[in-house]
Amino acid sequence: MNRGIHLIAPYAFLLAGCTVGPKYSKPAAPVAPAFSEQPPASFLASEGWKQAQPAETTLRADWWQLFGNAELNALEEQVDPANQSLKAAEARFREARAQIQLNRSALYPTVSGSASITTNQRSQHNPLGVTPGDYGDYTLPVDASYEIDTWGRIHRTIAAAREETQASAADLETIRLSLHAELAVDYFELRSLDAQKRLLDQTLVAYQKALDLTQNRFDGGLSSRAEVAQAKTQLETARAQDVGVGVARATFQHAIAILAGRTPESLELPVIPLNTAPPVIPVGVPSQLLERRPDIAAAERRMAEANEQIGIARAAFFPTLMITATGGFEGNHLINWISWPSRLWAVGPSIAQTVFDAGRRKAVAEAATASYDETVANYRQIALSAFQDVEDNLSALRVLEDQARAQLVAVESARQSLELSLDRYKGGLVTYLEVITAQTIDLQDEIAVVDIQRRRMDASVLLIKALGGGWDVSKLPPT
């Protein structure tokens, strides 16, 4: 047995390490020297909006703390331990990690053993002319086989499993970031509806007073029945809007409950109108974005994995070297089964080479190369989309901040116009149609202020998501 190993050992040593296929080098991705947009300074409105907490120089993993909202913080903390989509992604990561050990096992010999006891009866008419009779066959063999990784196929398979594991970990972080961002957006949508509900409630009070005024003027013969009907229509239209807000609010509350891993009826959020200004968000430089986005990291790791597949495909063009060995005992009686004279062994190398496969291996290699080129294109496209996400939300924050200032001026003008119209109506100088027009404009402007604030908060969350939410590639699991 030792003689066989001594014969093949020098050849195995020479062949080992002859890895075929390209070495991986991360392709370049398009990177701008700077973001064209710069994050705007936080705008503190004069309508009682609460200033958010000061931003840090870098984003943290618990980035939602930037908004300084204790209720939002509590909801976000429920996502990781309870969200079922996140649990599914974590299970996929563990599955990918197990593949590393599965592929690594090919570096070691496979050893199997079996034992059998059989009783045999020779035929009187056997072709060998052996004396008929019965005999026993007691065997206890141990078989071993080992593939020498002469062309690096096994090592590349292990490397591919490692890279897929890291890609799965990045996928997990992408899902985690998306879920946290979705909850934050839903939360601010809900609080925006609360602000809209408060506005409509206040509007209903004002419209009721206007209706009472019109009714009194009608009773005194100063207004027509048509004006009373107009005032009542205006009131009921606002009431319908007020009721409709409740339907939308319930939808967002249910969505938040599901994201937190809870049933919809188990979560009841009190009405708290949105009154928080967007925080200042540290953006950094564009080159950092390639290291901070988990989806970019996943695409890069799958490029490396696809590169390994090219080497695996090319290794199929070369012969496979195997070492097989068998040892054990065989006897014809139980008493001589396990004894030194009953020993047996066999050992030796074997080489297998596919001579003709009608181009199958070539097609597999070409497909692996094409798959790698696809991952490179996907990587660069994801990087470009990431820069677009950042620029889009920076632009949205800048424009919305300017729009918020202009809208507040419009609201103030609309309020003054409404007050003047009411005074003119009380004095009998105009019809109620002018009041209705002023009321409509005022309500639309007030709702626009709330909507702009909602869009600013959403853009802040989406900017944080576009920046990777405090994650970076150093947090990928070592493999």
User: Distance between CA atoms of 145 and 167, rounded to whole angstroms?
Assistant: 33
346 bridge partner residues: 326
- Position 119 scores a pLDDT of 87
Taking each helix axis from N to C terminus, what angle separates 153-219 and 432-466, rounded to the nearest 10 degrees?
Answer: 170
What domains are there in the chain, each with its CATH number? 20-106+150-318+363-475 (1.20.1600.10)
What's the pLDDT tens digit per position in 11-56? Answer: 444 444 578 889 999 999 888 888 887 665 554 444 455 555 554 5
Q: What are the CB-based long-range contacts (under 8 Å, 24+) for 318-321?
A: 318/20, 318/150, 318/151, 318/353, 319/150, 319/351, 319/352, 319/353, 320/147, 320/150, 320/351, 320/352, 320/353, 321/11, 321/12, 321/15, 321/147, 321/148, 321/150, 321/349, 321/350, 321/351
Secondary structure, 3-state, the chain: CHHHHHHHHHHHHHHCCCCCCCCCCCCCCCCCCCCCCCCCCCCCCCCCCECCCCCCCCCCCCHHHHHCCHHHHHHHCCHHHHCHHHHHHHHHHHHHHHHHHHHHHHHCCEEEECCEEEEEEECCCCCCCCCCEEEEEEEEEEEEEEEECCCCHHHHHHHHHHHHHHHHHHHHHHHHHHHHHHHHHHHHHHHHHHHHHHHHHHHHHHHHHHHHHHHHHHHCCCCCHHHHHHHHHHHHHHHHHHHHHHHHHHHHHHHHHHHCCCCHHHCCCCCCCCCECCCCCCCCCHHHHHHHCHHHHHHHHHHHHHHHHHHHHHHCCCCEEEEEEEEEEEECCHHHCCCHHHEEEEEEEEEECCCCCCCHHHHHHHHHHHHHHHHHHHHHHHHHHHHHHHHHHHHHHHHHHHHHHHHHHHHHHHHHHHHHHHHHHHCCCCCHHHHHHHHHHHHHHHHHHHHHHHHHHHHHHHHHHHCCCCCCHHHCCCC
What's the pLDDT tens digit per position in 314-365? Answer: 999 999 999 999 999 999 888 888 999 999 999 999 999 999 999 999 999 9
Q: Look at the block and give the residue holding tokens 């939308």.
A: 248
Pairing outcome for strands 343-352 and 116-122: unpaired
Report, as ranges of residue numbers, the positions in the chain whose pLDDT lies below 50: 1-16, 43-47, 55
Phi-psi region of 478 (alpha: psi -120 to 50; beta: other; left: phi over 0): beta
Alpha-carbon separation of residue 114 from 2, 325, 327, 449 (angstroms): 23, 14, 11, 80
User: Distance between CA atoms of 129 and 440, rounded to whole angstroms?
Assistant: 114
Pairing outcome for strands 110-113 and 116-122: unpaired
User: Distance between CA atoms of 400 and 232, rounded to whole angstroms?
Assistant: 35
Cα–chain center distance at 29 = 21
- Position 105 scores a pLDDT of 94
pTM across the whole model: 0.86
Q: 414: how many CB neighbours lie within 10 A of its CB?
A: 20
**Amino acid, single-letter form, for residue 33:** P
User: Distance between CA atoms of 210 and 212, rounded to whole angstroms?
Assistant: 5
